[in-house]
Amino acid sequence: MRKITLLFLLVFAIAENKAQNYQITFAGTGASTIVDSVKIENLSQCTSLNIGGGNILNLGGTVGLNDINLNNNKGTIIYPNPATGACSVEFTSTSGNNTRIELFDMTGKVVVEQSGFLTAGDHRFLFKGLKSGVYTLKIESDVYQYSAKLVSNYSTPENPVIENAGNTAGSLKQLTVNDNLKQGYKSIKSTIFMQFNAGDTLKLTGKSGNCRTVTMLFPNQDQTVPFDFMQCTDADSNHYAVVQIGNQIWMEENLKTTKYRDGSSISNVTDSATWGSTTNGAWCNFLNDPAEGAYYGRLYNYYAVADSRNLCPAGWHVAKNAEWNIMEKLIDSTVDTTALGVTGAEIGRILKEGCNTRWQYYDSTAGWNSAGFSALCTNFRNSTGAWSLAPNNNHDDSYWTASPYNVNMAWSKSFRWCTRDIFSIFNYKRAGSGVRCIKDN
């Protein structure tokens, strides 16, 4: 018996290692304890998924199954889960289709299956006689696919069966199953599957009302991910996602405001000659294209950055050169914070956004975004009012710091399409660059 038990544990461990199935739940702290929704981005596979904050994210590279691409965020509802021999599974058939339901054990063997035509709507199936173990549920038709992890704690041997409990008409209140299932109704959650391989990097953006917080995740176990929600809203009522890097909290997006904090307007200067001569605060969209500003953020001259009326949301300020230095050294120890020009072996890749962005001009210098900073390829405007001159006119960026260098220049940070480093330099105050704000201490 001891040998059999050890063999079972070994097989279970091997299967679990191969499967890499982890269940992730979410919680809110700070300004809100409620998580409305979560956007999950697998930065290693360049895939993304949006789910409700009360749902369970099932990350898996399941044994014996083909990769599954979910096309319905409602997913599956399994209750109770863990089950004691029996449980109820609900899912939505988006249209009338032949549907196949299969339950796999940890070795990839089909334990029980059922096929047939299902009408459009919500359906419920009862699974009975499931002995103790961890299972993978797969529901598939020509137009929708679902997958979820199911756990049973039932030790009495029985022959597993699937029973069609009918169309639920979208109402869980029509439950007619036994008391054990009714008890599980109190904790019903939808389980959403996402393809995941060991070592993948996930970027999670939790949303609660107007607050959005980014958390980077490198999963290796089941866990609850907390989002520390806080307000970050500018005078134009733009709401920004935030990310914590070390002890600092940064805006995860570039500033978009057209107003100072007191509501007064910043001049929108589109003409090149005027831009190159003004010493008043000014902003523009790259190439004067509103779509650029809406996605990549605005470009500002340093006079707007230094204005006492403040660009950033209340409780935030434009990051100083020294504050950039703290973050740079934390994430890439090769950075020389006293260097003028290029420094850092990989910091550019760590901070630049990845996955189908303008940074991907060379694969060897494309962004990883493993710190969640999400530096966008915003481009810039030089001190004469001309636009940046990289290939295709769209593969560089520049960020102002709040630190002046002399009467005509101030410190800035740049990432470039063709390198892996960060470029730390002083720039003319008349130039146009992006802005990142950092939370006040």
For the domain that residue 158 is a member of, what is the CATH number? 2.60.40.3080
**Are 267 and 382 part of one and the same domain?**
yes
Both 235 and 211 in a single domain?
no
Q: What is the pLDDT of residue 75?
A: 64
Residues 269 and 415 in one domain: yes
Is 417 within the bounds of a domain?
yes
pLDDT at 16: 42
Domain contains 147: yes
Q: Residue 301 falls within a domain, yes or no? A: yes
* Residue 224 belongs to some domain of the structure: yes
Please indicate, yes or no, if residue 24 is contained in any of the structural domains: yes
Do 223 and 295 reside in the same domain of the chain? no
Same domain flag for 399 and 297: yes
Are 311 and 304 spatial neighbours (Cβ–Cβ below 8 Å)? Answer: yes
* 188, 222, 241 - which closes a domain: 188
Query: Total structural domains in the chain?
Result: 3
Tell me, yes or no, whether 9 lies in a domain: no
Q: b/e map of 36-50 (b: 16 or more CB within 10 Å)? A: ebbbbbbbbbebebe
pLDDT of res. 184: 37
Q: What whole-number distance in Å separates Cα of residue 56 and Cα of residue 416?
A: 38
Residue 62 and residue 109 in contact, taking contact as beta carbons nearer than 8 Å = no
| 296: enclosing H helix or E strand | helix 290-296
Q: What CA–CA distance (Å, rounded) separates 105 from 137?
A: 9
Same domain, 295 and 422: yes
Same domain assignment for residues 392 and 282: yes
CA 63, 102, 47, 43 dihedral sign is: negative
Q: Can you give the CATH number for the domain in which 219 is found? A: 2.60.40.10
Return d(Cα 243, Cα 380) in angstroms, integer: 24
Q: Which amino acid is at 138?
A: K
Domain range spanning residue 204? 19-61+196-230
| Contacts of the segment 353-359: beta carbons below 8 A, 24+ positions apart | 353/377, 354/43, 354/46, 355/41, 355/43, 355/46, 356/46, 358/394, 358/395, 358/417, 359/395, 359/415, 359/417
Peptide bond into 80 cis (omega under 30): yes
Task: Give CA–CA dist 45/196, Å, rounded.
Answer: 8
Query: How far from the centroid of its chain's Cα atoms is residue 254's Cα?
Result: 17
d(CA 229, CA 214) in angstroms, rounded, equals 9
Same domain, 139 and 259: no
Q: How far apart are CA 78 and CA 56, in angstroms?
A: 11
Q: Does the residue 435 lie in any domain?
A: yes
Contact 396, 414 (CB under 8 A): yes
Round to whole Å and give the CA distance between 24 and 4: 32
From first to last of the 441 residues of the chain, give the pLDDT tens digit.
Answer: 433 333 333 333 333 444 468 989 999 999 999 999 999 999 999 999 999 998 889 898 743 333 333 333 356 788 888 888 788 999 888 888 899 999 988 777 888 999 999 998 889 999 999 888 888 888 988 877 887 878 888 877 678 899 998 875 443 333 333 333 333 333 446 778 889 999 999 999 999 999 999 999 999 999 999 999 999 999 999 999 999 999 999 999 999 999 999 999 999 999 999 999 999 999 999 999 999 999 999 999 999 999 999 999 999 999 999 999 999 999 999 999 999 999 999 999 999 999 878 887 788 999 999 999 999 999 999 999 999 875 555 578 999 999 999 999 999 999 998 899 999 999 999 999 999 999 999
CA distances from 134 to 84, 103, 121 (A): 12, 10, 28
Same domain, residue pair 274 and 257: yes
In a domain, 2, yes or no: no
**End residue of a domain, out of 214, 230, 246:** 230
Q: 242 and 139 share a domain?
A: no
**Per-residue pLDDT at 173:** 31
Q: Are 265 and 385 members of one domain?
A: yes
Task: Classify residue 326 as exposed, middle or buried by CB count within 10 Å of its CB (0-12, 13-18, 19+).
Answer: middle
- Specify the pLDDT at position 189: 60
Domain edge (last residue) among 157, 188, 219? 188
Domain identity same for 263 and 402: yes
